[in-house]
Chains A and B, each alone.
Chain A
Amino acid sequence: DGGITQSPKYLFRKEGQNVTLSCEQNLNHDAMYWYRQDPGQGLRLIYYSQIVNDFQKGDIAEGYSVSREKKESFPLTVTSAQKNPTAFYLCASSPRQGADEQYFGPGTRLTVT
């Protein structure tokens, strides 16, 4: 079964703790993306990666970090510096950078209290 998996589906953390969200794809896509979704808002780009060992900041990168050590994996760390971390986080991939179609994972809902 090809696709994008994100784990866990729900994640709870205390304020001040770093937390890492997992994203794996077996579509052999070069590009991967992280978005944040808040109620009543569209998707906002956090980070993206066009190839292994390379990644770029999106529109709202502050308080987040990523790595791309393997083609199929693009984990996102939400650090304690992120002021409003509670949100729905979506990972996506596309065959190449700038490709028109992006495929989304099922998302991780992070709640920080």
Chain B
Amino acid sequence: QQQVKQSPQSLIVQKGGISIINCAYENTAFDYFPWYQQFPGKGPALLIAIRPDVSEKKEGRFTISFNKSAKQFSLHIMDSQPGDSATYFCAAINAGGTSYGKLTFGQGTILTVHP
């Protein structure tokens, strides 16, 4: 019930295209859903995050879509650029719980944007 399932494992997109990465979860107690971006040899960095009281959040070219009833959320990267090539992780946490809230990560998606 703690798992977060992420797909696809890898994604190749042409420059200017839309990259879409999907995640699904089981634990309805999760109340915060961040996406992390990781470049090779570096630590993950928070990219964008959403709470379940909204269905969409947009920051620049990055948009999270959230479907609470389906327990799914996705990252859309508009006008994808070669500099977006990285590994993307979705995650989920019960940040409002009284017990320790563990950040549960998806398996990661390796995005390659061809020029």
**Contact call A42/B43, Cβ cutoff below 8 A:** no
B103 cross-chain contacts in A, Cβ below 8 A: 33, 45, 102
Q: Which residue of A has the minimal Cβ distance to B32?
A: A100
B contact residues vs A (CB 8 Å cutoff): 4, 6, 9, 32, 34, 36, 41-46, 49, 89, 93-97, 99-103, 105-108
Instruction: Give the interface SS of chain B, mostly helix, strand, loop or mixed.
Output: loop
Write the nearest CB–CB distance from B15 to chain A, whole angstroms. 26
Give the size category of A's interface with B: 20 to 34
**Contact call B42/A107, Cβ cutoff below 8 A:** yes
**Contact call B44/A43, Cβ cutoff below 8 A:** yes
**Contact call B95/A98, Cβ cutoff below 8 A:** yes
Task: Provide the A4-19 mask, 1 if CB < 8 A to any CB of B, else 0.
Answer: 1010000000000000
CB contact under 8 A between A106 and B95, given known A40-B9, A48-B100, A97-B100: no
B107 cross-chain contacts in A, Cβ below 8 A: 40-42
A50 cross-chain contacts in B, Cβ below 8 A: 100
User: What is the CA–CA distance of A103 and B36 in the complex, to the nearest angstrom?
Assistant: 10
CB contact under 8 A between A90 and B108, given known A97-B101, A98-B93: no
**Contact call A42/B105, Cβ cutoff below 8 A:** yes
CB contact under 8 A between A42 and B32, given known A48-B100, A97-B101: no
B99 cross-chain contacts in A, Cβ below 8 A: 98
Give the number of A-B contacts (CB < 8 Å).
63
User: What is the CA–CA distance of A58 and B104 in the complex, to the nearest angstrom?
Assistant: 11
**Contact call A42/B101, Cβ cutoff below 8 A:** no
Write the nearest CB–CB distance from B26 to chain A, whole angstroms. 15
> Which 8 residue pairs are nearest across A and B when measured between Cβ atoms?
A98-B101, A104-B43, A42-B105, A100-B95, A100-B32, A43-B105, A42-B107, A107-B43
Task: Provide the A50-83 mask, 1 if CB < 8 A to any CB of B, else 0.
Answer: 1000001010000000000000000000000000
**Contact call B100/A100, Cβ cutoff below 8 A:** no
Write the nearest CB–CB distance from A25 to chain B, whole angstroms. 12
User: What is the CA–CA distance of A99 and B85 in the complex, to the nearest angstrom?
Assistant: 28
B96 cross-chain contacts in A, Cβ below 8 A: 98
Most buried by B among A43, A92, A109: A43
Task: Provide the A79-113 mask, 1 if CB < 8 A to any CB of B, else 0.
Answer: 00000000000101000011111111111010000
